[in-house]
Amino acid sequence: MSVSPKPVLVMKFGGTSVAGVERIRKVAALVKREVENGYDVAVVVSAMSGETNKLVAFTREASPLHDAREYDAIASTGENVTAGLTAIALDAIGVPARSWAGWQVPIKTDGVHGSASILDIGTEGIKERFAQGFVAVVAGFQGISPEGRVTTLGRGGSDTSAVALAAALGAERCDIYTDVDGVYTTDPRIVAKARKLDRISYEEMLEMASLGAKVLQTRSVEVAMIHRVKTQVLSSFDESIGDNLPGTLVCDEDEIMEKRLVTGVAYSRDEAKITLVRVPDKPGIAAAIFSPLADAGINVDMIVQNVSDDGRTTDMTFTTGKADFDRAIKVLNDNAADIGFTRIATDQNVVKVSVIGVGMRTHAGVAQTMFRTLAEKGINILVISTSEIKVSVLIGADYTELAVRALHTAYGLDAE
Ligand code: ADP
Ligand code: ASP
Ligand code: MG
**Per-residue pLDDT tens digits for 362-399:** 888 999 999 999 999 999 999 999 999 999 999 999 99
**Residue 160 C-alpha to ligand 3 middle, in angstroms?**
10
Tell me which residue of 201, 182, 184, 205 sits closest to 254, measured CA to CA: 201
Out of 16, 46, 55, 177, mutate this one to test ligand 2's pocket (max ligand atoms within 8 Å of CB): namely: 46
Task: Tell me what the mean pLDDT of segment 162-176 comes to.
Answer: 98
Task: Read off the pLDDT of residues 118-130 as tens digits, 9 standing for 90 and up.
Answer: 999 999 999 999 9
Q: Which residue is closest in CA terms to ligand 1's atom 11?
A: 215
What is the Cα–Cα distance from 132 to 144, expressed in whole angstroms? 26
**Residue 215 C-alpha to ligand 1 middle, in angstroms?**
3
**Residue 300 C-alpha to ligand 1 middle, in angstroms?**
25
Task: Read off the pLDDT of residues 23-60 as tens digits, 9 standing for 90 and up.
Answer: 999 999 999 999 999 999 999 999 999 999 999 999 99
Q: Which residue is closest in CA terms to ligand 2's atom 6?
A: 156
What is the Cα–Cα distance from 416 to 413, expressed in whole angstroms? 9
What is the Cα–Cα distance from 416 to 411, expressed in whole angstroms? 14
| pLDDT in the model for residue 2 | 55
How many Å separate Cα 260 from the centre of its chain? 23
Q: Which ligand does the CA of 265 lie closest to?
A: 1
**Residue 20 C-alpha to ligand 1 middle, in angstroms?**
19
**Residue 157 C-alpha to ligand 1 middle, in angstroms?**
13
* Nearest-5° Cα angle at 378, 262 to 408: 20
* Ligand 1 atom at shortest distance from the alpha carbon of 264: 23
| Res. 91 pLDDT band, cuts 50 70 90 | very high
**Dihedral angle over CA of 339, 387, 356, 259, nearest 10:** 180
* Ligand 2 atom at shortest distance from the alpha carbon of 49: 4
Strands, DSSP E only, in 285-373?
Answer: 300-307, 313-320, 343-347, 350-356
**Quick one: angle between helices 77-92 and 21-36, nearest 10?**
60
Out of 12, 17, 74, 155, mutate this one to test ligand 2's pocket (max ligand atoms within 8 Å of CB): namely: 155
SS (H, E, C) 103-144: HHCCEEECCCCCCCCEEEECCHHHHHHHHCCCEEEEECCEEE
Chain region(s) in the chain for CATH 3.40.1160.10: 8-257
* Ligand 2 atom at shortest distance from the alpha carbon of 217: 8
Ligand 1 pocket (Cβ < 6 Å) reads 14-17, 46, 156, 178-180, 183-184, 186-189, 208, 213-215, 264
* Ligand 2 atom at shortest distance from the alpha carbon of 155: 9
Q: Is the pLDDT of residue 103 over 60?
A: yes
Q: CB–CB of 225/241 below 8 Å?
A: no
Query: Whole-number mean pLDDT of the chain?
Result: 94
* Ligand 1 atom at shortest distance from the alpha carbon of 189: 16
| pLDDT in the model for residue 59 | 95
What is the Cα–Cα distance from 107 to 121, expressed in whole angstroms? 5
Cβ(247) to ligand 2 under 6 A?
Answer: no
* Ligand 1 atom at shortest distance from the alpha carbon of 233: 25
| pLDDT in the model for residue 282 | 87
Q: Indicate the CATH number for domain 272-347.
A: 3.30.70.260
Chain region(s) in the chain for CATH 3.30.70.260: 272-347
**Residue 146 C-alpha to ligand 2 middle, in angstroms?**
22
Out of 51, 155, 174, 214, mutate this one to test ligand 1's pocket (max ligand atoms within 8 Å of CB): namely: 214
How many Å separate Cα 321 from the centre of its chain? 14
Higher-scoring residue by pLDDT: 209, 238: 209
What is the Cα–Cα distance from 230 to 242, expressed in whole angstroms? 15
| Res. 258 pLDDT band, cuts 50 70 90 | confident
Cβ(102) to ligand 2 under 6 A?
Answer: no
Q: What is the pTM of this model?
A: 0.92
Q: Which CATH architecture has domain 8-257?
A: 3-Layer(aba) Sandwich (3.40)
**Residue 71 C-alpha to ligand 3 middle, in angstroms?**
19
Phi-psi domain of 297 (left: phi exceeds 0; alpha: psi -120 through 50; beta: other): left
**Residue 177 C-alpha to ligand 3 middle, in angstroms?**
10
Phi-psi domain of 182 (left: phi exceeds 0; alpha: psi -120 through 50; beta: other): left
